Amino acid sequence: LYIVVGEEGTPNFPKDKLHREFKKHLMSKGFQALHLAGNNYMHWTTGFFHNLPSVLAKEALQDEWKKAVGRIPPEMSNLFVRFKVNSNVNYVVVDAAYKSFTESRKDDENYKKAMAWWEQLRPNIRQEVMDNYVKVSRQHDSSGARIGNPKIKEMVKGQQSTWRSNMADVCVEDIREAAKLSASELENLSVDEVLGLSLTEITGKLLRIYAFSAFGAGVVPNNTQCKGYVSGSALNPPLDFYQFPRLLGDVSVLKKEVVGNPMYDTSAVLFSLCSLCASPEQVAKLLERAAAGSVLPKTERDELLVRAFAGDALPDLLKGLMAQCA
């Protein structure tokens, strides 16, 4: 079984002769191929921490926070990957954390202060995003892949989907509400414009969490540090983890809000291990189900991986993985 983390056309499997011929060669030798994509990834949950040594749990929590506040650099990968990560993959994780954060604090005076503070800061952050991230991203694309800057209703170069279809629904909703755009107005914006808007919104969610911690500690949020996070420095790219303003107060509680990033390689490992104890017929069913969509709903996938970390036997994990395979 040949498992690739990600679909064709993503960084792990570019649509070039080398990767396609390698895959073709393996399949000629009897291998079956599985491209494990987002609809079959497992995710970090707080349930993992009960089964990890305290030091490892602390490191995992810090890594989740780092992934939440750090954006893919504007010179990394290609424009399509940057667009999808910022308007979908990362956006969904941060939004889920932000919703959890607001649900338990919406009546808190410090939360209300943080909301008002962000509304004042938003225009400046938006401009910093365009000047320091989107501009560099455009320069990188113009000198590299040259995907271009079309309207998001158009097809992505080299893909069978539109830019708009690669955005998370919650990102679309947030942008439309913040910019007061109709669905058609949004779809007629350029890729760069929408990239800037999505980065502004995701940054706003994180900075409001920071502002809440600052107000809770009895200090005013540091606008200079916030702008420094967005603009970057000589050593760090814009929106880099290391320049995010330091949270104040009980940071462990706030950091747990952002747990939920995909576990890419770990998901592939679980599929691989389960396949080792599966019959050829079971493997065929798994591949068919994975190719058609999700093998399991997200919650059940995540619970299955927690069971694996807790030490469940492979036959039991295989049974769980195949629970919805006809």
Does this model's pTM top 0.75? My answer is yes
Helix axes 54-69, 90-103, angle to 10 degrees: 110
What pLDDT shows up at residue 164?
97
* pLDDT tens profile 223-257: 999 999 999 999 999 999 999 999 887 767 777 77
Convert the chain into a string of H (helix), E (strand) and C (coil).
Answer: CEEEECCCCCCCCCCCHHHHHHHHHHHHCCCCEEEECHHHCEECCHHHHHHCCHHHHHHHHHHHHHHHHCCCCCCCCCHHHHHHHHHHHHHHHHHHHHHHHHHCCCCCHHHHHHHHHHHHHHHHHHHHHHHHHHHHHHHHHHCCCCCCCCECCCECCCCCCECHHHCCHHHHHHHHHHHCCCHHHHHCCEHHHHHHHHHHHHHHHHHHHHHHHHHHCCCCCCHHHHHHHHHCCCCCCCCCHHHCCCCCCCHHHHHHCCCCCEEHHHHHHHHHHHHHCCCHHHHHHHHHHHHHCCCCCHHHHHHHHHHHHHCCCHHHHHHHHCCCCC
Residue ranges of the chain whose pLDDT lies below 70: 251, 326
What pLDDT shows up at residue 283?
93
Contact 79, 139 (CB under 8 A): no
What pLDDT shows up at residue 161?
92
